[in-house]
A and B are shown apart, each in its own frame.
Chain A
C-alpha cells in the first residue's frame, strides 16, 4: 500500500510538471497563431448581414476579453489563474467560462472514447489471442494482416465509410448530434437508447480504428507468454485448457496497459476527425471551433484537458499494472 502511495505521489509530481510545461508551450504557441478573435467575429457578423458599423460595435466587447499587457504579464496572469482552475473566458461564446465550454464537450468525447476503447479492447484482445494461438495457420495470418491494415486505416477514413454505409446507403443510425432532443432527458429507456444510437457509429469508428493495434500487441504479447515456462508448466501440471488460457490471457494483458495509455492520447486527438465526421458535439468540435474563432482560452483549456487525460490514462495504466502485477505491487525484488 505504501508502495502504491509513493508511486502515486511520484506520478502526481511529474503530472504537475508536465501540465505546466504543456500549459506554457501552448500558451506561447497559440499566441503565435495569425488572426485574432475580433476580426474573425467581425467578418462572420458582416456575412450574416450586419452592417459594418454594427459589426464593429458588436465586436468591440470582445476586446474586453482579450488579455492585455506584455506577453510575460499575460503568461504570469494565465498561470496564476490556472492555479485557481480559472481557464479564462471564451471569446466565442463571449463571457462564458472556457472550462465550462470544454467540459461540456469533453463529457461526450470521454464517453465515446471509453466506449471505443471498450469495444476495440474486447475485439482486439480476443482476436489477438486467436491470432497468436493460430499463428502458423491461415487464420492467424489473415487476422494479423487484417489487424495491421485496420491499425493503419485512420479514423476519418473509417468514419467516412461508416457514414456512407449506415446513414446514406442503409440509414439506420442518426447522422449527427449526441442525443435526440425530442426525448426527455433523464435515465429513461428512450433517452439512453437515443444516446447509444447516436454514439454507436462514432464509437464504432474509434473501435475499428483501434482494435488493430490491440490485436497486434495482444498477439505478440500472447506469443511471448506462450513461450514462458509457466505455460508449459501449467500444461504439465494438468491444468485444464480454460485455466491455461486464463493464465496466458492475464499475463499477456500486462503490456497492453502501456499501449492503452498511448491509445488514449491518440483517441483524444482523433476526436477531431471523428466528431467532425459525425457532427458529434464533443471536445474535438470545440477545439476546431475555438481554433477557427481564435478563442485562446478555450484552445488552451482543450489542450490542457487532453494533456490531463493522457497523463491520467498513464497513471491509471501504471496503477492497473501495479494492481495486477504483484512484482510491482509487492516490492521490486525477489528474496534471493
Chain B
C-alpha cells in the first residue's frame, strides 16, 4: 500500500497548509508591542559583532555607539548622545573627553564603564576603525585612550596630523561589553597597540601583524548570547528575520515603546513592497519604489512615508581618458541635451528628485553649505547651446546626426548594471533623449554590481553611473569626484599627488587641474583634501569653489538626488519623526532612543 501512504502524506500536508494559512495572518498582527522593521541582510550564522559586515548586532537596537551622528550636510561633528551622555573636545580638536551615561547598563545588569570603552577602542584597532589605525603617523589617528574614571574616558588624536573627521570617527565607535569580549582580547593588547604606534620599525611591524591577526580572529567572533547596552537584545535570529526584545536595563528604557522588534531581511525589493502592501512594516529603511507602488503602498491603512534629504546622488560620470569626452565642451553639450527631470521620472520617479545643478552636490547640500546658486549653471535643456558646445569641440552635424571631427559617428556608450533597476531605466531614457537629439547613444549593462565596479575601476567604461555627493561630510562628498577614482591620492608628505588617467585606479581620468573663469587654475583634489583638515567656515569656501569648478567642468552630470524615503505604519505606533528630521538618516532604534515612536493608544 505504498501508493496510498504517499497520497495520505500529501493529504496531511494539504490539511496543515489549510490550517496554517489562517494562523499565519493572525500571528502577524499578534503583539501590539512588536515593532517590525526592515534592515539590510540578515544572516543567522553571522556573529553578534557590529564590525562584521553581516552582523546580528544591529546599530541603534542592540549595538551602541558613543553618539549618533546627526549627519547634517555642513557639520559632520554634530551628534546626539548615546552611550556618551556628553563630551568635550579640546579647541585644537585633538583631545576628546567622553562622559558615559550614568545609568548605562548592559543587558545582564553590569554597568557600562570606562573599561568597556577602552576595550572597545582596542577592538576598533584590531578591526580597523577609521580613527583607530595601528599605523604610526596616520593622519586623524587615535594615539591613546585613557580611562579617567568609571564613567569618563579620554581619547587623544595624533597631534601632528590632526583631522577634523577624527571626532566623528571616534564618536561612531561601537561600544562592546568588556566582560564578554575581554576573553577574546589579549590582556596586553594596549602594550601591543602602543608598540605598533611608537615602537621601533621592526617592533612596530610585529605589533601590527599581531593586531591584524587578532582582527582576523575577532571579526568572525561574537558572543553566543547577546549582551547589549542598547534598547534591545537579540533573542533569536532566523535566516531572514531577527527578533529583539526590549532591554530593561537600557538607560532610557522609558522611552522605548515596543516590547520587541522584528527586523526583516532586505533581500529583494518586491518582497519588501509586498510586506508594505500588507501594512506589516512599522518602519522601513530607504526602499526604492515606483510611483505606482508608492501610491498603492500609501493606500494601505496606516502606511505613511517620512522622507528626508539623502546625501546620495546618481550621476553619469565621464571617463575622460576616452575621446572626445576629455573635451569639456562635449561634456557640457551632453549636459545641455539631457532633460534630467525626465530621466528622474523614468528612473526614480518616487524616491528621486532631479538634481538642480551638476555640481557634485545634492540640492540639500547646496542649500546646507550655502552655495550661491546664482553662479551655477543648471544646464537646462537647450539644443542650441548644446550645438554650440559640440561645435566648439569640433563635432559636426550631418543629417541630424553628430559626428566626430574625423567624420566617424559620435557615440555615447552608457554603462549601467542590471543590479540597479533605476539606473538601467534612467540610462535607457538618457539614450532615448540623446538619440532624439542626433547623438548615437547606446546602453550596455554589466551583469552585476561587482562586475560593474571591477570594469569601472579598470577604466573600461566611457559614460557610467556613479553615486556622487555621498555625504554627509564635505570631504566625503568631493572624495567621490576628486579622490582616488580620479587619481588624487594622499602622498607620504601629507600632500596630494595625482596620477595619470588609467593609473593607480584613476578611471575617471580627470586632469590634475583646470582653468575655470573666475576661479583661475584649480586643483580640485588638493582642495578636497583640505576639506578634511580645515574648520567648517573655511570648508564652506572650498565647497563653493569645488561646486563652481564641478559645475563648469562637468566631470559628472548629476541626474537625481535620492530622497530618503522611510515607510512607517501608524496602526500600531505613532510619534514618528517629521519629514526632513536629521534622525531619519539613522535606524529606527535610534529614533526610539531619541523619544520617537510611541505605542498607539487603543
Interface residues of A (CB under 8 A from B): 33-36, 39-41, 43-49, 51-54, 57-58, 60-61, 64-65, 89, 92-96, 100-101, 104-105, 108, 115, 118-119, 121-123, 125-126, 163, 167-168, 171-183, 185, 190, 192-194, 196-198, 200, 246, 249, 276, 278-282, 285, 289, 291-294
Contacts and interface: CB of A to CB of B under 8 A. Distances in A.
A65 B216 contact: yes
Contacts of A280: 240
A108 to B, nearest CB: 7
A117 to B, nearest CB: 11
B451 interface: yes
B27 A180 contact: yes
Given A39-B453, A39-B457, A49 B21 contact: no
Interface of B: 3, 6-7, 9-10, 13, 16-17, 19-25, 27-28, 30-31, 34, 40-41, 43-47, 51-54, 71, 127-130, 133, 140, 165, 169, 212, 215-221, 236-243, 260, 262, 264-265, 267-268, 271, 274-275, 277-278, 311-312, 419, 448-455, 457, 467, 470-473, 475-476, 479-480, 483-484, 585
B454 A36 contact: yes
17 contacts: A36-B450, A40-B450, A52-B483, A58-B128, A64-B215, A95-B218, A96-B45, A96-B47, A115-B13, A168-B274, A171-B278, A174-B24, A176-B264, A177-B238, A193-B19, A193-B20, A194-B27
Contacts of B3: 125, 246, 249
B128 A119 contact: no
Nearest to A62: B53
B572 to A, nearest CB: 14
Contact of A193 (B16, B169, B452, B455): B16
Given A51-B476, A52-B483, A95-B220, A291 B448 contact: yes
B453 to A, nearest CB: 5
Given A61-B216, A197-B23, A39 B265 contact: no
A174 B36 CA distance: 15
A153 to B, nearest CB: 20
Nearest to A41: B53
A40 B453 contact: yes
Contacts of A39: 450, 453-454, 457
B278 A175 contact: yes
A297 B592 CA distance: 39
Contact of A49 (B274, B278, B472): B472
A35 B30 contact: no
B515 to A, nearest CB: 27
Nearest to A281: B239
B450 A105 contact: no
B479 A52 contact: yes
Contacts of A168: 274, 277
Given A49-B71, A58-B127, 11 more contacts: A36-B454, A48-B40, A64-B215, A95-B47, A95-B52, A105-B239, A175-B275, A177-B241, A181-B262, A279-B265, A292-B449
A47 B420 CA distance: 13
Main secondary structure of the interface of A (DSSP, over half): helix
B566 to A, nearest CB: 14
Given A173-B24, A180-B24, A118 B9 contact: yes
A53 B165 contact: yes
Contacts of B236: 181, 185
Contact of A104 (B31, B133, B239, B262): B239
In the A-B complex, the 4 residue pairs with the closest CB atoms: A95-B220, A281-B239, A35-B450, A197-B20
Contact of A172 (B21, B268, B271): B21
A94 B3 CA distance: 48
A224 B43 CA distance: 50
Nearest to A249: B3
Given A182-B31, A279-B240, A176 B450 contact: no
A95 B450 contact: no
**Residue of A34, A58, A89 most packed against chain B (CB within 10 A):** A34
A34 B450 contact: yes
A197 B449 contact: no
The residue in A92, A190, A279 that gathers the most chain B C-beta atoms within 10 A of its C-beta is A279
Contacts of A36: 450, 454
Contacts of B21: 172-173, 197, 200
A285 B45 CA distance: 14
B7 A126 contact: yes
A89 B220 contact: yes
A300 to B, nearest CB: 16
A196 B14 CA distance: 10
Given A47-B312, A168-B274, A194-B27, A95 B453 contact: no
Contacts of B470: 46-47, 49
Nearest to A197: B20
Nearest to B263: A181
B58 to A, nearest CB: 13
Contacts of B484: 52
Contact of A93 (B13, B45, B271, B448): B45
B553 to A, nearest CB: 21
A179 B216 CA distance: 33
A201 to B, nearest CB: 9
Name the residue in B9, B27, B127 with the highest tally of chain A Cβ atoms < 10 Å from its Cβ: B27
Contacts of A93: 43, 45-47, 52-54, 220
A202 to B, nearest CB: 12
Given A193-B19, A279-B271, A47 B467 contact: yes
Contacts of B34: 182
Contacts of A40: 449-450, 453
A118 B238 CA distance: 25
